[in-house]
Structures are given as C-alpha cells and as structure tokens.
Amino acid sequence: MSIGVAVLGSTGSVGCSTLEVLWLNRERFRVAVLAARSNVELLLAQCLRFAPEWAALESPEAARELQRLLRAEASRTRVAAGAAAIAQLAAEASVDHVMAAISGAAGLASTLAAAAAGKRLLLANKESAVMAGALLMSAVRAGGSELIPIDSEHNAIFQCLPASFRPGERPAGVRRLLLTASGGPFLDWSAEALAQATPAQACAHPRWNMGRKISVDSASLMNKGLELIEASVLFGMPVEQIEVLVHPQSIVHSLVEYVDGSVLAQLSAPDMRTPIAQALATPQRMPAGVEFLDLVRAGRLDFLAPDPERFPCLRHAREAARLGGLYCTSLNAVDEIAVQAFLDKRLNFGDIPAVIETVMARVQGGAMTGLEAVLAADGEARRLASEVVARRTAGQSVRA
C-alpha cells in the first residue's frame, strides 16, 4: 500500500523539490494533500499531475479560482480554503507523512496539527521550532509523531546521531554540534558595502535556490541563527555547545563531535532533494534524482569562523537562544518584519540587524506557556518592529 503524503507549501522551493522526489518514487508514495498560500497557477499544474484528494489555499479567493479551474479539467481533487483547513488536512487519516514547508509563522498551526496527529513530520518550517519549540516538542511527544528535520544542516546532524536518538532529547555521548553556513552572497563584502546591498544582490545565493525571505536571512546569517535555535530545540543541546562554521562549498552540511574525539559529518552535493529523500524513506534509502558528490572535482573544503561584526544577526539570535522562551518567538517575528521591509525597499540591508536589536531590547520575553502566549508575543513583536521600521523609513532614503 502506498504512503500518503501531504505537501504543505507545495509551490515553494522545498515543496517543488519534494514533489520531484515523490514523482521519482511514485510506486511507493501518493500525494494526498497539496497546500499553498496563493499561487493558483502552479498549484493547478501540480493537482493535474499528482491528482491529490485535497488541495488547499490560504486565500479564499484563490481557492475559489482553483476550484473553478479544476472543475473545468474534470478533476476529482477537492478544494479547501484557509489556514484552519490546511491544519485540518495535515491531520487527515489518509495522510502518513507531512512535509511542513509553509514558511514563516504561517506554517505553525499546520505543523502542530501534524505533530499532534502522530504523522511522520518532515520539518522544513524552521520557524515552528524557533517561535514555539516547547509546544512543538510537546505535541510530538503527545501525538507519538516521528519528527525528521529537512533543513540540510539539521538533517545532516540527524543522520550522524545514534539510531536510538529521539527528537528533543540530548543524544548520548555528543559533545558539540557544528552547523555549517555557506556564508551567503556577502561572505567577502566589507561592512560598508553590506550596509547598502540591494534585495537582488541579497537573493543571489551562490549555492542554493531558495525563496526570497530565506535568501535574505542567509545573506545576513540570521538563517544560521534561527537554525542554531532550531538545533537546540530538536537535539536537546544547550546553545553553548552549538557552533557555526562558514563552509563556502556547502558540501559538508553539518558535523557532530562526540566525547571520544570522533567527529561525524554528512556530505552531499548542495541539493535539497537529498535530505527530502532521506526523510521520506528512512530507515531505508531511495533515489533523489541528484548529482552525486565528486570530491576530486570539488578539490577543497574550507572552514572559517563567522565574523560577528559584519554579521551581527547571528549574535542577536544566539542571545535570544540563551534567554530562551518567548524571546525566540519575538526574534522570529521581528526578523520577518525587517526582512519584508528590506525586500519592499523600505529598509537598507544594514538596517535589518539594527531593527532587530532595537525591538529585542523592548520585548518582555517570558515562558512559553501555551499557544496563546506564543501568538501574543509574536503579535507584540510585529507591532513594535513595524513601528521601528516606519520611523527609520521616514528618516532616510532607501537604496533601490
């Protein structure tokens, strides 16, 4: 019997890569649910190719348009609308695996629903672990969910840990986790040049094909800061025992150092289809359709320490991780607001860490007591960040 998969965020880069892997292994898997925010055209094409039982869009207007187009094609795929409907579909009985790839805070509800329903949760939505890590791990334990990280770095760590490892619990014998970072497009830029970088430059990642928000986070190293928080949540490790290494070739995806001095690493060509295939098939392996790694052609593997002066976002993320609780929720919210303002050309690139620092000094923090507290902290941080962005935008000219 084939395994039913829900791909949440199917029109994004991770979602599209997931569908490529599923098509390559279609004798083992069937697509039960496809969900996206508003991209009707691409979701329609995916529905016609994969014939899911359900398709969902966050936008009701977009959902109505999709339904009209599917009827014209005599498709049997049913259509749902809204974030609540997507969360409900993540828990459907016909679904075995859930790819949680709706980016940002918008993916939280469906990720928690999949965990609570006991699905194999393929976690690409790092924000769920960052903004609500305690709630996510509680839902995983209560629902009996099997959580497998999809970020290449966390999936690499997962592959290097003992088979007995359970998410959220500190793995036996591990001394340190080493997260690798490509360094993004601005690795060699001066602080002065960084301050004036444009959205097009920030999104031109040298190794990975990603969405615009995550590309900007990669350029500022905030993405690595969020991944540091995620690693602490998923692997039960204090942030003091998680380090970041800049590795421009993006071949070594992360490393695990054990107390006996052994260091295990996972290597592959920089292609998200590898961790996706691993997570779908584990404990077995299956084809991912990727280029195989040729170390002779790669020639060299370089590792550098990140520069905290040129990339202060990493420092801000580490401080939020140290404080824990709702500070991580607030950090994620402020970053989303600041990055969107940069992409909208209302802020300069150099203003992103400044906005984060200003707002994080004003938020209240506190314990992650429940979803209501998380949403309240998220909303308050967004309000404060929007105010700071508005003031900075009014007082400066922003580079086009």
Residue pLDDT, tens place only, 81-131: 999 999 999 999 999 999 999 988 889 999 999 999 999 999 999 889 999
- Which run of H or of E encompasses 290? none
β-pair type (146-149, 120-123):
parallel
Cα–Cα distance measured from residue 281 to residue 275, given in angstroms and rounded to the nearest whole number: 10
The residue whose two tokens read 């006991």 is 118
**3-state DSSP assignment of residue 98:** strand
Q: Which of 378, 364, 354 is nearest to 222 (CA)?
A: 354
Q: Does residue 12 lie within any of the structural domains?
A: yes
Q: For the residues 217-227, what does the mean pLDDT come to?
A: 92
Domain that holds residue 49: 3-150
Q: Is residue 191 very low, low, confident or very high in pLDDT (cuts 50, 70, 90)?
A: confident
- For residue 332 the two structure tokens come to 């994620």
Count of domains for the chain = 1
Q: Would residue 9 be called left, alpha or beta, if left means φ above 0 and alpha means ψ between -120 and 50 degrees?
A: left
- Tell me the CATH number at 123: 3.40.50.720
Residue-level pLDDT at 399 = 45
The type of residue at 352 is I
In this structure, is residue 29 part of a structural domain? yes
Q: How confident is the model at residue 209 (pLDDT cuts 50, 70, 90)?
A: low
Distances from the Cα of 212 to the Cαs of 201, 237, 336, 340, 369, in angstroms? 11, 30, 11, 9, 32
pLDDT at 96: 98
Q: Specify if 71 maps to a domain.
A: yes
Q: What is the average pLDDT across 243-259? A: 96
Contacts of 216 (CB under 8 A, 6+ apart): 199, 202, 203, 339, 342, 343, 352
**pLDDT at residue 396 in the model:** 59
Query: Alpha-carbon distance 369 to 138, whole Å?
Result: 11
DSSP 220-260: HTHHHHHHHHHHHHHHT--GGGEEEEE-TT--EEEEEEETT
Q: How does pLDDT run across 327-341, given as a tens digit for each residue?
A: 999 999 999 999 999
Does the pLDDT of residue 232 top 50, yes or no? yes
Q: Give the residue-averaged pLDDT of 342-350.
A: 94
89 lies in a domain?
Answer: yes
pLDDT of residue 368: 92
Measure the CA–CA gap between 158 and 180, rounded to whole angstroms.
Answer: 14
Query: pLDDT value at position 48?
Result: 98
Q: Is residue 359 pLDDT above 50, yes or no?
A: yes
**pLDDT, tens digit (0-9, with 9 covering 90-100), for 38-57:** 999 999 999 999 999 999 99
β-partners of residue 246 are 181, 304
Mean pLDDT taken over the chain = 94
Assess if residue 171 is contained within a domain. Answer: no
pLDDT at 393: 85
pLDDT in tens, 149-182: 999 999 999 999 998 999 999 999 999 999 999 8
Q: Residue 186 gets which letter from DSSP?
A: G
Describe the crossing of helices 351-360 and 371-394 by its angle, rounded to 10 degrees: 130
In the structure, what pLDDT confidence band is assigned to residue 208 with cuts at 50, 70 and 90? low
The answer to whether position 277 is within a domain reads: no
Q: Is 142 inside any structural domain?
A: yes
* Confidence at residue 127, expressed as pLDDT on a 0 to 100 scale: 86
Please state the rounded mean pLDDT for residues 283-309: 94
Residue 138 in this model has a pLDDT that exceeds 70? yes
**Please, which contacts does 139-144 make with residues 24 or more away whose CB atoms are closer than 8 Å?**
139/112, 139/115, 140/115, 140/167, 140/168, 141/168, 142/116, 143/115, 143/116, 143/117, 143/118, 143/119, 144/118
Cα 34 to the center of its chain, rounded Å:
18
Tokens of 288: 């991912």
pLDDT band at 192 (very low <50, low <70, confident <90, very high): confident
Residue with tokens 């709702």: 326
Instruction: Judge whether 286 lies within some domain.
Output: no
